[in-house]
Chain A
Amino acid sequence: MAPDPDAALLLAFQRGDASAFRTLYERHARAMVAFCHHFVRDTARAEELAQDVFVKLYRAADRYQPSARFKTFLYRIASNHCLNELRRGEYGARKAAAGAGSPADPDALPAPEAGPEASAEARKLERAVRVLLDRLPDGQRTAFVLARFEGLSYDEIAAVLETSVSAVKSLVHRATVTAAEALAPFARPDLEEVLP
């Protein structure tokens, strides 16, 4: 396995180097906020969830074994936390409502939080993706987000979800087929094969 500098930082933190933990969250804060945003679609809440993830990492640091890559360790904590968040409270209720009956109309949703620079088309696409993600079962949603937005390989996703690569292949494929239907109006035929 190639050297994992983040793992080395977490091990340094285990030995009492508090600055190592700071370096870790500075490196991964942006990715964590973005990842959590795919689950809650609310910037302030995503930031809170990302902070929860780092607090959980802080608590779990003593249990970290260098045999696991830091990235998969972090995303496992984040995935579990975000899914738990979805399962309870308002997000669970929203998802249940979205799953009932016909798919929600993306245009009926409140405007997503894209910056002012985002085009109208990008905002519509963001709404459609939000509806899509809310429709996906938990496993497919997590695998899809990890593969499509976070750029994790199937091996890494399998480590995050603690399942087999073939199970990940199936989860990603089923989610992507659903995405192909949902995002048909936005489809761009300019890509033959996406390489990670």
Chain B
Amino acid sequence: MRHPTDDLSALVDGALPPRRAEEVRHHLSGCESCRALHARITGAVAALSGLPPPPEPSPWFAVRLEARLASEASRRRGPLARLAALAVRWRIAAPVGALAVAAAVTVVVVRTRAANERELASQLDLLADYEVVANLDALSSPGDAEIATHLDALEAEGSPR
């Protein structure tokens, strides 16, 4: 039998099947090096029992954990709860919002129309000369255009008094 090195800790821990444990014990009885390793392992495992007891949870452990779990629960519920709240808010807000948007659009349209009309009124004088300006294209040469722009003066000079 080769050295059952890997089984020595398992033997100490009682983790070997009975038949295998028996085989390893039998090997130990005839193998000094394995017996020495087995003794070191049992000594170290026994030494661990001399450790001080592990720390206890503090009195605030449960309180703090409860707070974290409550926060976790609300985070977990969050998306659904937020959607529900949003739906309720929109049920009220949507008609109000629609009215507000409609009112705003109306105001903008009315103001724009009024502004356009004021602009139109301010340019009525220009419109009076519109026929002359529009007919500038009909003039055949730059000379004609020059004559047309000085028509008033020419009329005054050429007209009989």
Contact = CB atoms under 8 A, between A and B. Distances in A.
A192 B53 CA distance: 23
B13 to A, nearest CB: 6
Interface in A24-48: 25-26, 29-30, 33-34, 37-38, 43, 46-47
A191 B15 contact: no
A126 B51 contact: yes
Given A50-B57, A123-B52, A173 B8 contact: yes
Q: For chain B, what secondary structure do more than half of its interface residues adopt (helix, strand, loop), or is it mixed?
A: helix
A111 B72 CA distance: 36
Interface string B41-81: 11111111111111111100110111011001000100000
A33 B61 CA distance: 10
Interface residues of A, number: 59
Nearest to B47: A186
Nearest to A129: B51
B149 interface: no
Given A51-B61, A125-B47, A186-B47, A30 B12 contact: no
Contacts, number: 151
B13 A147 contact: yes
A115 B15 contact: no
Contacts of B69: 21, 54-55, 58
A46 B55 CA distance: 9
A34 B55 contact: yes
A29 B62 contact: yes
Given A33-B57, A50-B57, A184-B44, 15 more contacts: A25-B65, A29-B61, A33-B55, A37-B55, A54-B65, A115-B52, A115-B53, A125-B47, A126-B51, A147-B13, A172-B13, A188-B43, A189-B46, A194-B14, A194-B45
Interface of A: 21-22, 25-26, 29-30, 33-34, 37-38, 43, 46-47, 50-51, 54-55, 58-59, 112-115, 117-118, 121-123, 125-126, 129, 147-149, 153-154, 169-170, 172-173, 176-177, 179-184, 186-196
3 shortest interchain CB distances as A-B pairs? A187-B43, A34-B54, A114-B52
